[in-house]
Chain A
Amino acid sequence: MKTYKILLFLLVLIPSFALAQCRPFTKNKALPKLNGYVQNDSYNSAQMAPGEEAEIMVTFFGGRDYRLLVVAHPILGDVEFTVSDINGKQIYTNKGAQDKEAFEFKMKNTQQLVVKVKVPEQKDAVVQHIGCISIVSGFKQ
């Protein structure tokens, strides 16, 4: 009976381990790029698949400087990210930007902005891959 309990415990653990892949990615690949900014969110990282999109609404306070990062595993290709106001007016896109992962800005007034992330399709790929994407923001003290 005890053995079965151990078995059940292990089987429950397997999917959790399978999911636990973006924590080290975020720690090693994304957080160091905050570069002197203090991280001001909880945890926004997940594995995403080709063709998927995600969005997140973030409040930025007036009178403060921010660095917003969208760091994606290279296997996902050129991940696009945009920042818009809540009415859909686009403020920033990383298309053509020198640094495709970071957007630094000052906020005059407190505002909610929408960050959209789009993973490109991998139509010709024989094997599809999923990879971590971390959205991180930090403020300057």
Chain B
Amino acid sequence: MIKKHLSLNAFLSICVSSLFLVACGGNENKTENKAPLETGASELTNKDEFFKDREQALKQIFFSIPAPIEMADMIKDAGFSFDKNVLNPVEKVNKYINEENRAINLGIYAADLSYSTVFDQKQESVNYLSASKTLASALGIDGALDEQFMERVQRNQNNRDSLISYVTQSYQNVNAYLKEGKRTDVSALIIAGAWVETLYLSTQYAGKKGEKAMRQRVAEQTYSLNQLVNYLNLFATSNRVNQMKEDLIKLQMIYKDVIVIGGETSVEKDKNGTTTIGSTDTITMSDATLAKIAAEVVVIRNKYIL
């Protein structure tokens, strides 16, 4: 019995040592200078493992639709003011008890956090960051929004630029932890949740009489929606992702009425060296289509915010 226990302990020690060796970058840049782990390079020692399902893995990692902070910034640019009533209340955070709901609502809170921060609503920002932390912890990614990070936010909450930087960092950290932990489907749900909330917030303004700027931004979301649906297709075996995808496909059916006419891309460089990219593309949408998009996004959002 003692012997068995000893051998088990020895095996455990080897495992722990291996873990720390890998975690601490044991084989980092052996042939180069001994660079620290954060330099992000290592020898390619296990080619079979590295190249396994490689194309799919890279497609799941390299995906981009505009983060919620940019749409919030465009709402502000269009001259609108903050409206707390359009947000998903932070008090609901404890209602989200399964991984799918936690991920989607972490995305929704990320969008609400971005909106609050862009409009310089300090207390709301801290509240939404705190709710995001609760959901991140429940998803097992405490490190993405750890105590030190939260303390830095508290200390700098009166500096809008710092707060915006922390908000974008938090969104990046959450997705980084999930992608590097091979939980890209959960990251995909967060991104989808954030996009749904961003579209919802935009439609709240785009529908106002005479409003043109936000209406155009809502129409332009046809690009992000198509990209998002294509991205979710990469997770075909995940039922929870498929559920979200089906909801977005309903929205995509309405977006088919948005008229996109492709044109020529032009590139100009002025005497100061500034590059301007233009195109003759046009994107237009009728009042009826906007109303249908606004109604459908409410249905989808209500389904997930509970």
Q: Using CB atoms and an 8 Å cutoff, list the residues of chain A in contact with chain B.
A: 3, 6-7, 10-11, 13-26, 28-29, 31, 38-49, 52, 54-62, 73, 75-76, 85, 87, 89, 91-92, 103-113, 126-132, 135, 137, 139, 141
Assess the A19–B180 pair: CB atoms within 8 A: yes
Known: A61-B220, A111-B281. A16 touches B265 (CB 8 A): no
Q: What distance in Å separates the Cβ of A73 from its nearest Cβ neighbour in chain B?
A: 5
Which of B39-47, B80-88, B95-103, B150-158 binds A? B39-47
Out of B50, B57, B62, B177, which one reaches A44, CB within 8 Å? B62
A-B contact pairs, 10 of them (CB 8 A): A14-B22, A24-B38, A39-B69, A42-B67, A61-B66, A61-B220, A87-B265, A111-B265, A129-B44, A141-B73
B217 at the interface (CB under 8 A from A): yes
Chain B residues with CB under 8 A of A47: 40-42
Q: List 6 additional contacts besides A106-B275, A130-B42; criterion CB under 8 Å.
A: A42-B64, A42-B67, A55-B62, A107-B277, A132-B41, A139-B70
Chain B residues with CB under 8 A of A135: 62, 64
Assess the B181–A16 pair: CB atoms within 8 A: yes
Most A CB within 10 A of own CB, among B29, B164, B187, B265? B265
Which of B9-17, B242-250, B289-297 binds A? B9-17
Chain A residues with CB under 8 A of B74: 61
Assess the B64–A46 pair: CB atoms within 8 A: no
Q: What distance in Å separates the Cβ of A14 from its nearest Cβ neighbour in chain B?
A: 5
Q: Using CB atoms and an 8 Å cutoff, list the residues of chain B in contact with chain A.
A: 8, 11-12, 15-16, 18-19, 22-23, 25, 29-32, 37-44, 50-51, 54, 57-58, 61-67, 69-70, 73-74, 164-165, 168-169, 171-173, 175-177, 179-182, 187, 191, 217, 220, 223-224, 227, 262, 265, 267, 274-279, 281, 283
Assess the A24–B37 pair: CB atoms within 8 A: yes
Chain A residues with CB under 8 A of B283: 110
Assess the B66–A59 pair: CB atoms within 8 A: yes
Alpha-carbon gap, A54 to B172, bound state (A) = 20
Assess the B40–A139 pair: CB atoms within 8 A: no
Known: A16-B182, A23-B176, A58-B64. A73 touches B40 (CB 8 A): yes
Out of A7, A23, A25, A28, which one reaches B15, CB within 8 Å? A7
Known: A14-B18, A106-B274. A38 touches B176 (CB 8 A): no
Chain B residues with CB under 8 A of A106: 274-277
Q: What distance in Å separates the Cβ of B182 from its nearest Cβ neighbour in chain A?
A: 7
Alpha-carbon gap, A52 to B44, bound state (A) = 13
Chain B residues with CB under 8 A of A105: 274-277
Chain A residues with CB under 8 A of B69: 38-40
Complex: chain B residue closest to A10, CB-CB? B15
Complex: chain B residue closest to A65, CB-CB? B274
Alpha-carbon gap, A58 to B66, bound state (A) = 8
Assess the B16–A10 pair: CB atoms within 8 A: yes
